[in-house]
Structure 1
Amino acid sequence: MTKMIFVNLPVTDLARARAFYEALGFINNPQFSDDNSACMVWSEAIHVMLLTHSKWSSFTSRPIPPASMSEVMLAISCDSREAVDRMNEAAAGHGGTADVNPQQDLGFLFNRSLADPDGHVWEAMWMDPAAIPSAD
C-alpha cells in the first residue's frame, strides 16, 4: 500500500469547511464522508479529514485549541506561483483568511499562508528544485 497522510481537523461547521476546501481545489471523497466528517482529497497521498467537534472528541479527549492559536502549519505544493496566489485568493473569498504570515519569495521558492474558517493554517507553496542555489 502506498504511504498516505490523513490530516484530521476539528471544524465548527462541516458544510462551511467542506465548501471552503472545495474552493481551494480539494475533492470530497463520499466513501469516507458522512454527517460528521468529510474526507477532502488533495492528492493520492494527501487527505484531510474534516471532523465535527463531536466526531473529533470520539478520537481524543485533548481540548481543541482556539482558532487564534496554531499547533501546526501544513504546507502543500502547488503547480505554479499563480496557483499559490489563486489558492490564497480562494481562501479569502470563501470564509478563510489570506496571508496570515508574510509571503516568502526566494526565487526558487514562493509561498503564502492562509487560514481556514476554523483557524487551521496552511502554507501554499511552489518550488523549482532546479533553481535551488548550491550550498557551496
Structure 2
Amino acid sequence: MNKQIFLNLPVVDLPKSMAFFKALGFNHNPQFTDETASCIVISDTIYVMLLTHDKFRQFTPKAICDTSKAVEVLISLSCASRQEVDDLVAKALAAGGTSYDKPEDLGFMYSHSFVDPDGHGWGVLHMSGMPPQS
C-alpha cells in the first residue's frame, strides 16, 4: 500500500477555502466533508483537510498561527510540466490567492508559488532532472 499524506490546515472561512481549491481544479471528498471540515483531493495519495479553527483546535493544544505575521507551513507540490506550474499559479491568483515571488528556473527545476486565502504557502515545481553535483 502506498503511503498517503493528509495535510491539516486551519481555515477561517471553509466555503471560501473550498471554492479556492475547486478553482485550482481540485475536488473535495464528500465522505470527509461537513460544516467543520473538507477533504480536498490533490491526488490518489495527497489530501488536504481544510478545518475550521474550532475543528483544528481539537487536534492540538497549541495556538493557530497568525499567517499575516508568521509562516505556518510551506507546502511543495510537484507538477508534470512548467506549463502546469504557471497554470496553477495563475488559477490561484485568479481565485483570490497571492504570490510573493517570481518564477525561478534553475535548469533542472522550475518553480513558482502562491499563498492561499488563509496564508498557507504553496510552492509548485517541475523537476526535469537532478541538480548538478558539486
Q: Which residue of 1 aligns with 2:73?
A: 72
Cα deviation for residue 59 of structure 1 reads 1.2
Q: Aligned partners of 2:8 and 2:108: how far apart in 1?
A: 30
Q: What's the counterpart of residue 113 of structure 1?
A: 113
Matched, 1:54 2:54: yes
For structure 2, the residue ranges without an aligned partner over 5 or more in a row are: none
1:135 aligned residue: 133
Q: Which 4+ runs in 1 deviate beyond 6 A?
A: none
Q: Deviations over 1:9-59 (max 9, x none)?
A: 000000110111111222211111111100001111110000001111111
1:84 is aligned to 2:85:
yes
Which residue is 2:32 aligned to? 32
Q: 1:29 corresponds to which letter in structure 2?
A: N
Q: How far apart, in 1, do the equivalents of 2:5 and 2:118 lie?
A: 20
1:25 is paired with a residue whose SS is coil
| TM-score, scaled relative to structure 2 | 0.92
Amino acid at match of 1:25: G
Could you tell me how far apart the structure 1 residues matched to 2:3 and 2:11 are? 25
Identical columns (%): 46
How does the TM-score come out when normalised to structure 1?
0.91
Question: Residue 33 of structure 2: SS of its match in structure 1?
Answer: strand
What secondary structure, in the 3-state scheme, does the structure 2 residue paired with 1:96 have?
A: coil
1:103, distance to aligned residue in structure 2 (A): 2.7
Instruction: Give the whole-Å Cα distance in 1 for the aligned partners of 2:101 and 2:67.
Output: 15
Q: Indicate the RMSD between aligned Cα atoms, in angstroms.
A: 1.4
Give the total of aligned pairs: 133
Between Structure 1 and Structure 2, the one with more strand by share is 1
